[in-house]
Amino acid sequence: MPNCMIEVNGLVKKYGDRVTVNGVSFCVQDGEIFCLLGPNGAGKTTTISILATLLPPDEGQATIGGYDLVRETNLIKPLIGFVPQELALYPTLSAWDNLAFFGRIYGLRGMALKERITAALGLVGLRDRAGDVVRTFSGGMKRRLNIAAGLIHQPRILFLDEPTVGVDPQSRNFIFEHIERLKAEGMTILYTTHYMEEAERLCDRVAIMDEGRILALDTPRGLVGLLGGGVIHVGVAAEAIEDLLPAIRTLPHVRAASAQDCRLKVETGAARPALLELIELCNARDVPILSLEVLEPNLESVFLHLTGKHLRD
Amino acid sequence: MLNQILALAWKDLKIFFKDPGAVALIFLQPFMFIVVMSYALGGLFEPGGGQIQLLAVNQDRGPHAAAILRQLDEMDAFQVETTWEGQPLTRGMAEKLIVEGKQNLALVFPPDFSEVLEQDPAAPERRTTKILVIVDPATSSQFVEPILGTLQGLIERRTYTVMIPRRLDYLFERLAPQTPVEQRETFKAQAQEAMSGGLLGGREPVVTVERTTPAGMQVEKNPDTFQQNVPGYTIYGIFWIVSLLAGSVLEEKREGTFRRLLVAPMNRAVMLAGKLLPYYIINLIQLVIMLGASSLLFGVSLGHSPAGLVAVSLVAAAAATGLGVLVSALTRTEAQVGGLTVLLLLTMSALGGCFVPRFIMPDWLKTMGLITPHAWALDAYQDLLVRGYGLREVLPKVGALAAFAAAFFGIGVWRFRFE
């Protein structure tokens, strides 16, 4: 794979009999924002924890910045920044003291440390709250400071594990802008989320994960393209399904049709004309439509298409 | 590496000193124990201080009960009350005061007390009488027994004074009636003085009792309650660092800051060292403040061996911090930290003699106490502060405390989980 900052091959992590990461492989290119998208329990956090050197893999290989994840951990650590899902901050210390502490841990001293703290606080819009105790911050401000703490040593690679959980829309937008700025500066970012809007907005490529596996990996546009113009679910009486399916497959705007959970699942290149054709067909056959659902082509519907589950299930 | 340890330590010190609850737990709590308990128990150690109030109901028709009560009252330890609110004390009043919990002990001298002492030795029947000591059943026998012993001694002395001359007169009459009166009086005086050990006449007693200490101890003055309590409650206080350290480790795990630190280029030994150092420093600050303040405010002697004091303090603090690591390793929740800390610290403090002197414990409990670092630390501090020993004498105890520290650290680090 060309110019992989993070390269993962056949990664496996087990807890007893439970396999939480099951043969995951991908490559994150230099300067790319790569997203692991999936519901809670999909294996995203375990994957990012392994790559951030927090957990040893049971099987598979990975390199970070060209260094082997298992044998060259000490060379990897200075390259990476980690923003955990938790607000990993000291609530009784000020924002400045928190960043100063994490900076010192990374070997920053004196003026260099002060400059980095000032820059990191500026990046997340907290410069005017530098002296305030973190406990007094809003949830969004804490999230932003959480990100700043992961950036204090200017890492080349940043791991962001669900960085917007519990954040209000305004702060979320603020965080998105920071991440976009980091990407513009050339940082490589591995980002986990279960919000498809985040993946669509921020990520160059998205790996859809469920039950420890990557189900699909492409650009957001490429993934959405899997559904073409969308998917229509039509609920009809069970005995009518076998009769309708062959006829539906012959409709001009229908790509494929199948039965799924007592419903007809119709994939189409253009949802609106396909919907009209389906309604006409049902009327002509005198089959009552019991329910109707049109899935616009987005990552949520792609996930539903791939797994039969919603992202927030 | 050193800079990382210092950064970790400085961060935890800042967090500690911003937490008034933690500061109060570590510095104020043991100090308040010292002050309150020392004043409460002041009478146990200080001559003339904290006199025991004794109610006395004197029904005696003669002079001897009054004489005994006067002698009791002249002693430093006792203050005899024969009246209450301006009224002569009766048995009924005394019992009511005990029932109401205002007093816990009263002496009742019977009406015939003097008559019994002065009875005719030739009388065909010997008369006896009783002094009643009315005691609240909740009163410790350790409090009552010395009073009874003192009273018994005074009664015996009074008996010599009154009964010996009469008995000798009787014997002269029966055995040597022709002896001149002058010779009889001289003999009676000499016999009386000899039998009472010289205590009754104007001359110095031939036998006296003097309080002293074993050879090798350099005690400037007899210890008061502060001198006795400061080592015990100081040891009790420094081990509360266990609660803070274990709580802090748990918080780092819960907040995810340990996870963030584990991603940093820092090995786990450095991380652990940086985590422990501030609590060790806090322990040492605590020792300096507790001992220093006790010396400045209450005149507690710090002994003659600064080197011994430093050595004991360093290893005692290490044992306390080590126990903190062990508790951190064994607990997963706040409830577990709280429960295990209280259970361990109170049990160890009690067994180690911080609350109750070990010398009054049964032998098996004394032996059990030796499994606590508290007992060794307390003994070492008492050696230095109370017994006036030096570094050489406390070295075995320093060694024992170092062994406790090593064992706690060893097991704690072995079982420690960063996540």
Higher pLDDT, B395 or A272: B395
My answer on whether A84 and A122 are in the same domain is yes
Q: Is any Cβ of chain A less than 8 angstroms from the Cβ of B9?
A: no
Q: Where does a domain end: A174, A207, A224?
A: A224
**What's A133's DSSP letter?**
B
pLDDT in tens, B100-119: 888 888 999 999 999 988 88
Number of domains chain B is built from: 2
Residue A32: the pLDDT is 93
My answer on whether A239 and A123 are in the same domain is no
Residue B219: the pLDDT is 64
My answer on whether A99 and A201 are in the same domain is yes
What is the Cα B120 distance to its own chain's centre?
48
On average, the pLDDT of chain A sits at 88
Query: Which of A64-73, A111-120, A277-286, A302-311 is the least confident region?
Result: A302-311
pLDDT greater than 70 at residue B222:
no
Confidence class of residue B376 from pLDDT cuts 50, 70 and 90? very high
Q: Which residue of B has its CA nearest to A150?
A: B260
Over residues A94-111, mean pLDDT = 94
Residue B5: name the closest of B275, B330, B340 by CA.
Answer: B275
**Residues on chain B touching A88 (C-beta within 8 angstroms):** 255-257, 259-260
Residues 160 to 219 of B: which have CB under 8 A from any A CB?
none
Residue B214 lies in a domain: no
Residue B215: the pLDDT is 66
Q: What is the CATH number of the domain that holds B119?
A: 3.40.190
My answer on whether B314 and B228 are in the same domain is yes
My answer on whether A281 and A188 are in the same domain is no
Residue of B1, B14, B257, B271 to mutate for A, most A C-beta atoms under 10 A: B257
In percent, the amount of chain A with pLDDT more than 70 equals 97
Over residues B36-64, mean pLDDT = 75
pLDDT in tens, B323-332: 999 999 999 8
pLDDT greater than 50 at residue B190:
yes
In percent, the amount of chain B with pLDDT more than 90 equals 33
Distance from CA of A65 to the nearest CA of B (A): 15
Over residues A272-282, mean pLDDT = 88
pLDDT greater than 60 at residue B47:
no
Range of the domain at A253: 228-296
On average, the pLDDT of chain B sits at 85
My answer on whether B34 and B56 are in the same domain is no
Cβ partners under 8 Å of residue B208, min gap 6: none
Closest by Cβ to B15, choosing from A52, A93, A106? A93
Number of domains chain A is built from: 2
My answer on whether A48 and A177 are in the same domain is yes
> What is the rounded CA–CA span in Å between residue B337 and residue B342?
8
Q: What is the CATH number of the domain that holds A207?
A: 3.40.50.300
Over residues B283-298, mean pLDDT = 90
My answer on whether B62 and B36 are in the same domain is no
Over residues B124-136, mean pLDDT = 87
Residue B248 lies in a domain: yes
Residue A1: the pLDDT is 45
My answer on whether B72 and B113 are in the same domain is yes
Over residues B120-148, mean pLDDT = 84
Residue B28 lies in a domain: yes
Query: Which of A266-280, B16-30, B290-304, B376-390 is the least confident region?
Result: B16-30
My answer on whether A132 and A241 are in the same domain is no
> What is the rounded CA–CA span in Å between residue A300 and residue A295?
9
Closest by Cβ to A52, choosing from B18, B263, B266? B263
My answer on whether B157 and B297 are in the same domain is no
Cβ partners under 8 Å of residue B255, min gap 6: A86, A87, A88, A89, A90, A91
**Residues on chain A touching B263 (C-beta within 8 angstroms):** 52-54, 77, 80-82
Contact criterion met (CB < 8 Å) for A84 and B260: yes
Over residues B229-236, mean pLDDT = 87
pLDDT greater than 80 at residue A38:
yes
Answer for the pair A303, A311: CB distance below 8 angstroms, yes or no. yes
**Residues on chain A touching B4 (C-beta within 8 angstroms):** 104-105
Residue B411: the pLDDT is 93
Closest by Cβ to A149, choosing from B10, B15, B260? B260
My answer on whether B16 and B67 are in the same domain is no
Cβ partners under 8 Å of residue B64, min gap 6: B113, B114, B117, B118, B158, B162
Query: Which of A271-285, B181-195, B345-359 is the least confident region?
Result: B181-195
C-alpha count within 13 angstroms, C-beta hemisphere, residue A162: 21
Round to the nearest angstrom and report the end-to-end CA distance of chain B: 22
My answer on whether A203 and A251 are in the same domain is no
**Residues on chain A touching B262 (C-beta within 8 angstroms):** 53-54
Confidence class of residue A311 from pLDDT cuts 50, 70 and 90? low
My answer on whether B259 and B397 are in the same domain is yes
Higher pLDDT, B412 or A296: B412
pTM of the model: 0.73
My answer on whether B81 and B31 are in the same domain is no
My answer on whether B396 and B273 are in the same domain is yes
Closest by Cβ to B15, choosing from A81, A92, A150? A92
Q: Which residue of B has its CA nearest to A133?
A: B18
Residue A233: the pLDDT is 87
My answer on whether A177 and A243 are in the same domain is no
Q: Is any Cβ of chain A less than 8 angstroms from the Cβ of B417?
A: no
My answer on whether A269 and A165 are in the same domain is no
pLDDT greater than 90 at residue B31:
no
Q: What is the CATH number of the domain that holds A248?
A: 3.30.70.920
Q: Is any Cβ of chain A less than 8 angstroms from the Cβ of B3?
A: yes
Token code pair at residue B132: 């009643």
Residue A306 lies in a domain: no
My answer on whether A135 and A236 are in the same domain is no
My answer on whether B189 and B251 are in the same domain is no
Residue A222: the pLDDT is 85
pLDDT in tens, A133-184: 999 998 888 989 999 999 999 999 999 999 888 778 887 888 888 889 888 9
pLDDT greater than 50 at residue A36:
yes
Residue B205: the pLDDT is 62
Residue A269 lies in a domain: yes
Over residues A6-22, mean pLDDT = 92
**Residues on chain A touching B253 (C-beta within 8 angstroms):** none
Contact criterion met (CB < 8 Å) for A102 and B419: no
My answer on whether B248 and B308 are in the same domain is yes
Among chain A, residues having any CB pair with chain B shorter than 8 Å are 49, 52-54, 74, 77-78, 80-82, 84-93, 97, 101-102, 104-107, 109, 149-150
In total, chain B counts a number of residues equal to 419
Over residues A272-297, mean pLDDT = 87
Answer for the pair A199, A224: CB distance below 8 angstroms, yes or no. no
My answer on whether A153 and A269 are in the same domain is no
**B80, B100, B143, B261 from B105: Cα distances, Å:** 11, 12, 10, 65
**Residues on chain B touching A106 (C-beta within 8 angstroms):** 264-265
Range of the domain at B297: 2-42+222-415
Residue B90 lies in a domain: yes
Over residues B362-378, mean pLDDT = 91
Confidence class of residue B320 from pLDDT cuts 50, 70 and 90? very high
My answer on whether B362 and B384 are in the same domain is yes
My answer on whether A87 and A218 are in the same domain is yes
Residue B147 lies in a domain: yes
